[in-house]
Chains A and B, each alone.
Chain A
Amino acid sequence: MQAGNLVLLLIALGAVFYFFGWRRSYAVSAPLGGVRHLHSLPGYYASLAAVWCVLPALALLAFWLMIDDAVIRTNLMASLPSSIQPQSQVDHELLLNQIRNVAGGALNPAFVPAEVAAAAEQLNAMQAKNQLMLNIAFISIAVLGGVWGWSRVQPRLRARQQVESVMKWLLMASAMVAILTTLGIVLSVLFESIRFFQKVSPVEFLFGLQWSPQIALRPDQVGATGAFGAVPLFAGTLLISFIAMCVAVPVGLMSAIYLAEYAHKNVRAWAKPILEILAGVPTVVYGFFAALTVAPAIRGLGESMGLTVASESALAAGLVMGIMIIPFISSLADDVITAVPRAMRDGSLALGATQSETIKRVVIPAALPGIMGGILLAVSRAIGETMIVVMAAGLAANLTANPLEAVTTITVQIVTLLVGDQEFDSAKTLAAFALGLMLFIVTLALNVIALKIVRKYREQYE
C-alpha cells in the first residue's frame, strides 16, 4: 500500500531530523559553555525538529487522500468526448465503473468502445501522475518542515513548552476519539435510517405486524413490495431477553448474596473466579453450545413430554444467554452488596433478626438501586447480544409469546440483511440500519438510566 510506505518513510525521516536536531542543539550550545546554557534539554530541540517534519506531512497526506479520488473523477469526466458523456446519474456511475474495470485490468479493453478504452488509459495516467505528485509533495513538505524545525534550534528557543503543547493537543485529540466514535455511530445509522424512512413510513416500521424484507425480483411475484413491520422482531427480542433475565437475575443475585454474606472466604476465593470464566467465554462459543447441545436437549425433553418444540426455540437461546449474563449480574450485585455498611447489618442482627431476614429486609433494600442499575445494564446487553441468537434463534418473524417456538430478533435480522451481497439503495439493506438505530436508542436509554442510578447510589454510602 502506497500510503503505508509513505508513513514508514516519514517515520524514518522523523528519526533523521530528531538526530540532527539533537546534534544541532549541542553545536549551538558549545560556544556558550555546554548544554546547561540551553533553555530546554537537547531532547526537546530534537523532538521539535521531528515534530515539524512529521505533523505537516501527515496532515497533507490525510487531506490529499480525502480529495484525490473526487478530483480525478471530475477531471476524467470533464475530459471525456461528448459522444460518450453520460446523460443521467446512473449512466455516470456505470460508465465510471466500466472505465475503472478496464483501467484495473479486470475488463479487456477490446470489449469496450474505443473512447472508453482511451479514458481508461487516461485514468491510469492520471493516477500515476497523482501518485507521483503526492510523493513529491509529501517528501518535500516533510523535509522542508524538518529543516525549518532544525534551523530554529537556538539556545533561547522555548522548545520544551512548544513540544509539550503539541503533546497536549495530541492527548486531547485522543480523548476526542470517543466523541467522534459516538458521532460516527449516530450519523451512520441515522443517515441510512432516514433514507429507509423515505421508502417505508416510520409508522409502518414501528407498528406493522408483518416482517418479510426479502423483496422479489419481478413486480408481479408474491411479496413484491416486502413488508417492514418490526413488531415481531421487537417481540422476539423481548421474549428471548425475558427468558434470559428469568435465568440470570435469580441465579446471579442469589449467588452474589451467598458468596458475599454466607460463603467461607476460601469458597468465595474459588467460586467467584470460576463464575467469572462465564463472562470471558466468547459469545460465539455460547451460540455453538446453544445450537448444538441445549436446543436438541430441550427439543428431546419437550418431545418426551408430548410438546412440539421448534429446533430453534426461543427457550434454548434465552437459557444460554441467561447463563452468559449470570456473572455480569453477580459481579455488579456483589459490588453493591459489599458496599452496604457493616453497621446496618450489625444493627439488624442485634435486634434479633436472622441472617436471611437481615439480608432481605436491610441489605437488599439498601442495595436495591444499585442492583436495579445492574439489571438494567444486563437487559441492555441481552437486547444487543448477537451471536447466540444468530446461531440458535430462528430467522422467521413469528409474533408469539410461546418460548418453545422459533422467534427472530433485531440483531439476527441486522446480520441476515447485511451479510452477503448488498446494494445500498434497497430498502432491505437500509432496514438493517433502521433496526440498528432502534437498538442503539434503546440500549443507550437503558445505559444512561442505569449509570445514573448506579452513580447516585454509590454517592450515598461513600
Chain B
Amino acid sequence: MSNTTEQVRKSLKARYRSEKRFRAFGISAVAFGLLAVVVLFTDIISKGTSAFVETYIQLDIHWDPAELGIDDPTDPEQVNYADYDALIKAALRERFPDVEDRLERRALYQLASSGAGFRLRDQLQENPDLLGTIQTRWILADDDVDMFIKADAEDRQNTRLPEVARPWVEALERDGHTDIQWNASFFSKGDSREPEQAGVWAAVTGSFFTMLVTLALAFPIGVAAAVYLEEFAPKNRYTDFIEVNINNLAAVPSIIFGLLGLAIFINLFGLPRSVPLVGGLVLTLMTLPTIIISARAAIKSVPPSIREAALGMGASRMQMVMHHVLPLAMPGMLTGAIIGMAQALGETAPLLMIGMVAFIVDIPGGPLDASTVLPVQIYLWADSPEASFVALTSAAIMVLLAFLISMNTLAVLLRKRLERRW
C-alpha cells in the first residue's frame, strides 16, 4: 500500500468529523433563524391577545334626575352636559357602603373607567325613558382593574391596582359582577391616554389614506419610469446615470427620506405637518425604486417575439407597449407594487421626521387631516409607561402583521394565478 493512501486513510476520520460538524453548524443556523421567527411571534401573540378583551363591572345604575341635573330628558342640551360619572360614583357607593374615608372613596371611584360615563350618556340619548329608573348595567372598568382580573392568581400581587381596592374587585368577581367582554372600542376608536379606551381605528384610517396617496403616485410613476427605461431609453450615459440612481435609492436608509420630506415638502413647499398627504409623498419616493425595479423585471420577462409580432403588424412602438407589453407584464408589476406597499405600510422612521407622531384622538376624514399611522401608533404606545399599553401595543402589532401577511399572501396568489411562463 502506497504512502499517500495510508495518509488519506488516517486523515479520513478527522475529515468525516469535520464534515459532520459543518453540517451541524448549518442545521443550527437554520434552526436559530426559525427559532427567532417562533419566539418573535409567540412573544407578541402571548402579550397581545389579552388586549382584545376588556373587563366590565356590573353595577345598579340609578338614573337619578337630581344627580344628573336633568329635568327634561328630551332636551339634547341637558342630556349632553349632565354629569354621568356621578351616577357611577353613586352606584359604587351603593355597592360598597362601608367605604367612607375620602381617600378610599377616591380609589373606589377609580374602579370604573373615566370614559364609562359617555356610554351612559349615549344610552340615555337613545332611550329617554331610562330617567328615574334603576337599571343593571355593565360598566367599563379601569385598566388597573382590567390587569388585575386578567392576571393569574399569583401574579395579582404585582399589578398596579392599589392595595385597598383589591378586596372590592375580588368581591365583585366572587359575586359574578365582573365580566370579560370583546373589546370593540379597540377597533373603532382613536388614541387615548386611558389604555382601556384607546383604539387603533384612527391609526388604521391614517395608514389607509397614506397608502392611498402612495399607491396613487408610486404605481403610475414607477410603471412609467420602468416602461421608459426598458422600452424607449437610448443606451447612453444619462440612462446609465438614472439606473445607478435608482439602484442606490433602493438602499438609502429610510430616515434620509424623512429628512428630505422635512426639508422639501414641509419647509420649502409649506405643506402642513402630520398629514397623510406628506407621509404618502415621502413613502412614494421611498418605494419608487422597489416598484421600478420589479416593474422592469416584469417588462423584461415579456418575450421579444410579442413585440416583434406587434411591430410587424404595423403597431407603433407606443401601441406595442400599451396594447401588448404592459397587459402581459401587469401581474408581475402588481405583485411588485403590493410588496412595495407592504414595505411602506410598515415604515416608521421617515414619518417620525415629518411630525406624524402627534397625539391624535380624532379619526381622520381625509389625506389633509392630521393623523398618525399604525406603525407610529405602535411606537407611541411602546413608549408609554403604563403596563396595559404593552398588551395594547402587541395587539396593534398583530393588526399590522395581519395586514402585512394578507398583502403578501395576495401578492403570492396573484403571482401564482396570473403569471405566465413563456
Chain A interfacial positions (CB closer than 8 Å to B): 1, 69, 160, 164, 167-168, 170-172, 174-179, 181-182, 184-185, 188-189, 191-192, 250-255, 257-259, 262-263, 271, 274-275, 277-278, 280-289, 291-293, 323, 326-327, 330, 352, 354-357, 359-360, 377, 380-381, 383-387, 390-391, 411, 414-415, 418-419, 424, 432-433, 436, 439-440, 443-444, 447-448, 451
User: In chain B, residues 36-59, which have Cβ atoms closer than 8 Å to a Cβ of chain A?
Assistant: 36-37, 40, 43-44, 47
Question: Does B156 count as interface, using CB distance less than 8 angstroms?
Answer: no
* A255 CA to B348 CA, complexed, in Å: 29
* A68 CA to B23 CA, complexed, in Å: 70
**Chain B 334-364 per-residue mask, 1 if CB under 8 angstroms from chain A, else 0:** 0000000010011111001101010000000
**Residue of A whose beta carbon sits closest to that of B412:** A273
Question: Does B26 count as interface, using CB distance less than 8 angstroms?
Answer: yes
Q: Give the most central of B23, B252, B267, B383: most A CB within 10 Å.
A: B252
Partner of A387 from the list B43, B227, B247, B349 (CB cut-off 8 Å) is: B349
Q: Which residues of A contact B376 (CB under 8 A)?
A: 284
Q: Which residues of A contact B270 (CB under 8 A)?
A: 69
Q: Is B19 in contact with A259, judged by CB distance below 8 angstroms?
A: no
Q: Is A287 in contact with B382, judged by CB distance below 8 angstroms?
A: yes
**Residue of A whose beta carbon sits closest to that of B342:** A280
Q: Is B255 in contact with A436, judged by CB distance below 8 angstroms?
A: yes
Question: Does B32 count as interface, using CB distance less than 8 angstroms?
Answer: yes
Q: Is A278 in contact with B33, judged by CB distance below 8 angstroms?
A: yes
Q: Which residues of B contact A185 (CB under 8 A)?
A: 252, 256-257, 259-260
Q: Is B36 in contact with A278, judged by CB distance below 8 angstroms?
A: yes
* A355 CA to B394 CA, complexed, in Å: 44
Q: Is A326 in contact with B18, judged by CB distance below 8 angstroms?
A: no
Q: Which residues of B contact A287 (CB under 8 A)?
A: 379, 382
With A357-B15, A415-B349 as known contacts, state yes or no: A258 contacts B260, CB within 8 Å. Answer: no
Q: Is A175 in contact with B252, judged by CB distance below 8 angstroms?
A: no
Question: Does B202 count as interface, using CB distance less than 8 angstroms?
Answer: no
Q: How far is the CB of B122 from chain A (nearest CB, A)?
A: 33
Question: Does B86 count as interface, using CB distance less than 8 angstroms?
Answer: no
Q: How far is the CB of B266 from chain A (nearest CB, A)?
A: 10
**Residue of A whose beta carbon sits closest to that of B383:** A391
Q: Is A164 in contact with B318, judged by CB distance below 8 angstroms?
A: yes
Shortest 4 CB-CB distances between A and B: which pairs? A384-B253, A258-B26, A282-B346, A188-B263
Q: How far is the CB of A325 from chain B (nearest CB, A)?
A: 11
* A392 CA to B346 CA, complexed, in Å: 18
Q: Is B246 in contact with A178, judged by CB distance below 8 angstroms?
A: yes
Apart from A1-B368, A255-B33, A287-B379, list 12 A-B contacts with CB within 8 A. Answer: A69-B270, A185-B260, A189-B259, A274-B33, A282-B400, A284-B348, A293-B43, A354-B16, A356-B18, A359-B22, A419-B352, A444-B252
Q: Is B368 in contact with A179, judged by CB distance below 8 angstroms?
A: no
Partner of B259 from the list A174, A262, A355, A414 (CB cut-off 8 Å) is: A414
Q: Give the most central of A170, A179, A286: most B CB within 10 Å.
A: A179
Q: Which residues of A contact B30 (CB under 8 A)?
A: 254-255, 258-259, 263, 271, 275
* A385 CA to B349 CA, complexed, in Å: 9
Q: Is B404 in contact with A255, judged by CB distance below 8 angstroms?
A: no
6 A-B residue pairs with CB within 8 Å = A164-B318, A274-B34, A282-B347, A327-B33, A384-B254, A390-B349
* A288 CA to B16 CA, complexed, in Å: 44
Q: Is A262 in contact with B375, judged by CB distance below 8 angstroms?
A: no
Q: Which residues of B contact A250 (CB under 8 A)?
A: 29
**Chain B 365-377 per-residue mask, 1 if CB under 8 angstroms from chain A, else 0:** 0001000000110
Q: Is B263 in contact with A444, judged by CB distance below 8 angstroms?
A: no
* A278 CA to B163 CA, complexed, in Å: 43
Q: Which residues of A contact B292 (CB under 8 A)?
A: 178
Q: Is B288 in contact with A177, judged by CB distance below 8 angstroms?
A: yes
By DSSP majority rule, is chain B's interface helix, strand, loop, or mixed? helix
Q: Is A282 in contact with B251, judged by CB distance below 8 angstroms?
A: no
Q: Is A174 in contact with B248, judged by CB distance below 8 angstroms?
A: no
Question: Does B232 count as interface, using CB distance less than 8 angstroms?
Answer: yes
Question: Does B422 count as interface, using CB distance less than 8 angstroms?
Answer: no
Q: How far is the CB of A333 from chain B (nearest CB, A)?
A: 11
Q: Which residues of B contact A327 (CB under 8 A)?
A: 33
Q: Is A443 in contact with B378, judged by CB distance below 8 angstroms?
A: no
Q: Which residues of B contact A444 (CB under 8 A)?
A: 248, 252
Q: Is A167 in contact with B251, judged by CB distance below 8 angstroms?
A: no
Q: Is B346 in contact with A432, judged by CB distance below 8 angstroms?
A: no
Q: Which residues of A contact B249 (CB under 8 A)?
A: 178, 181-182
With A168-B318, A357-B15, A447-B248 as known contacts, state yes or no: A436 contacts B227, CB within 8 Å. Answer: no
Question: Does B242 count as interface, using CB distance less than 8 angstroms?
Answer: yes
Q: Is A288 in contact with B378, judged by CB distance below 8 angstroms?
A: yes
Q: Is A443 in contact with B253, judged by CB distance below 8 angstroms?
A: yes
Q: Give the most central of B248, B263, B289: most A CB within 10 Å.
A: B263
Q: Is B232 in contact with A171, judged by CB distance below 8 angstroms?
A: yes
Partner of B228 from the list A164, A175, A282, A292 (CB cut-off 8 Å) is: A175
Q: How far is the CB of B119 from chain A (nearest CB, A)?
A: 31
Question: Does B140 count as interface, using CB distance less than 8 angstroms?
Answer: no
Q: Which residues of B contact A262 (CB under 8 A)?
A: 23, 26
Q: Is B225 in contact with A174, judged by CB distance below 8 angstroms?
A: yes
Q: Is B29 in contact with A285, judged by CB distance below 8 angstroms?
A: no
Q: Is B225 in contact with A289, judged by CB distance below 8 angstroms?
A: no
Partner of B33 from the list A177, A281, A326, A360 (CB cut-off 8 Å) is: A326
Q: Is A174 in contact with B404, judged by CB distance below 8 angstroms?
A: no
Q: Which residues of A contact B246 (CB under 8 A)?
A: 178
Q: Which residues of A contact B247 (CB under 8 A)?
A: 447, 451
With A271-B34, A411-B253, A418-B353 as known contacts, state yes or no: A179 contacts B245, CB within 8 Å. Answer: yes
Q: How far is the CB of B22 from chain A (nearest CB, A)?
A: 4
* A289 CA to B36 CA, complexed, in Å: 11
User: In chain B, residues 228-258, which have Cβ atoms closer than 8 Å to a Cβ of chain A?
Assistant: 228-229, 232-233, 241-242, 245-249, 251-258
Question: Does B397 count as interface, using CB distance less than 8 angstroms?
Answer: yes
User: In chain B, residues 315-329, which have Cβ atoms closer than 8 Å to a Cβ of chain A?
Assistant: 316-318
Q: Is A182 in contact with B382, judged by CB distance below 8 angstroms?
A: no
